[in-house]
Amino acid sequence: MRVGRATSLSIAALLYAVGLALITLSPLTDWHFVPEAPWRFLDQPWPKYWTGFDVLVNVLAYIPLGLLASRAILYRFRGSAWGPLASFMMSGLACILISILLEGLQTYLPSRRPSILDVVSNATGAMMGAFVASAYAQSIARLQITETRPIEVGGLALLGLWLIAQAAPQPIWLALGDIGLTDELRRAAAWLTGMSAASPSVAREVFAAQRILAEALCVGSAITSCALLVHLTMLESSRWFVRYRPEYWPRTLLTIVLVTLAVRAVWIWLLSPVALSGWLTAGVQAGVVLALLSAYGLAGARLSHQRLAAVCGLAVTLMLANTLPENEFLTSGISDWSRGRWLNLQLLANLSAVVWPFLALGWLRLVLSRRTVRALERAFGITPRPAMPSDRSI
């Protein structure tokens, strides 16, 4: 499947705008009608109380949107000498209108207050991103590639959702894909294993003995699946990673492990510093070790087998995420996690944590399909090992 680069960038900009909408309108509860016009805040005076942190976040949040929108528009006008200027003006105007729309919708949310300062900050960030994209486009040689598959943009979006999901207070770290059926599935599992007839004290002891193993499997399978997706996507993205080879898999896994641990630690430090020393449990440590061991277990495997391992890992993650109850880390840290200046991020983080495994499975089904991976094997000269002749001697 080949689509225009402008279309790929437009889709990425649209998805990013949806993420901004979730943050701006979070929490999405208690909507109510007010008689005043939603655009009335535009002629209100400058807010009396504001912080530099809020202004900085609003500026930084709209820089990628301005950059993506400008690049998408630029490819529509790549044959015109006025293309960079037109993309700068049009993308900046579009981002400002999006900001005004989202701020206006906050009028109907009792927990939010629209502000002209937010619009100015958002417009500044959007203009900065649009300017960078337009300035980059001054080199005509950089616009020669007009057609490409959206795998690069989609892969970056999937990886970005993975990093955002680290900000969600999951029942277990990397317990992604929890769709709210924990109690029902737990009762079904207890009935199938016969634990429903056991006393509560026995059930708690059995669960405590198995919890570390379950947590390790959840963490290890999630990290390994993410690393495999990145690995196969980089192999398929020959335009960006022309020198990437199948034998680079161990270093890719190590990079994903280190980046994921660092991002999770940073999110905890920002959201709930008191829980910084309690999230790296024995199960998490064992899961990281299992993920690192998979570097050697899958190093010599065919790409089709690595794809199958990613699918199985996602299935294990989904099963455990929907059967394991909360742990002490969530109970002690959720009070700090759910309030403060990062409260607006919670909806996007929770949504990313829920949908990521399903999006990853869709990515493996639609983009990294079995036919695609087998074509990669042929391209890299990977062929099945010949079957050993059977010994028919008596």
Residue 256 has pLDDT above 90, yes or no: yes
Give the mean pLDDT of 370-378.
88
pLDDT of residue 181: 56
Token duo for residue 185: 């599935």
Kindly indicate the confidence band of residue 141, based on its pLDDT and cuts at 50, 70 and 90.
very low
Query: Is the pLDDT higher at 356 or at 198?
Result: 356
Entry pTM: 0.72
Give the whole-angstrom CA distance, residue 165 versus residue 171: 13
Return the top range by mean pLDDT from 44-48, 223-227, 236-240, 270-274: 223-227
Give the whole-angstrom CA distance, residue 184 versus residue 191: 11
Any idea where the domains of the chain sit in the sequence?
3-145, 158-379
Residue 187 has pLDDT above 70, yes or no: no
Task: Mention every residue, 6+ apart, whose C-beta is less than 8 A from residue 392.
Answer: none
Phi-psi region of 112 (alpha: psi -120 to 50; beta: other; left: phi over 0): beta
Range 148-153, long-range pairs (CB < 8 A, 24+ positions): 148/2, 148/5, 148/8, 148/239, 149/1, 149/2, 149/3, 149/8, 150/3, 150/7, 150/8, 150/11, 151/233, 151/236, 151/237, 151/367, 152/8, 152/237, 152/239, 152/240, 153/8, 153/9, 153/11, 153/12
Residue 365 has pLDDT above 60, yes or no: yes
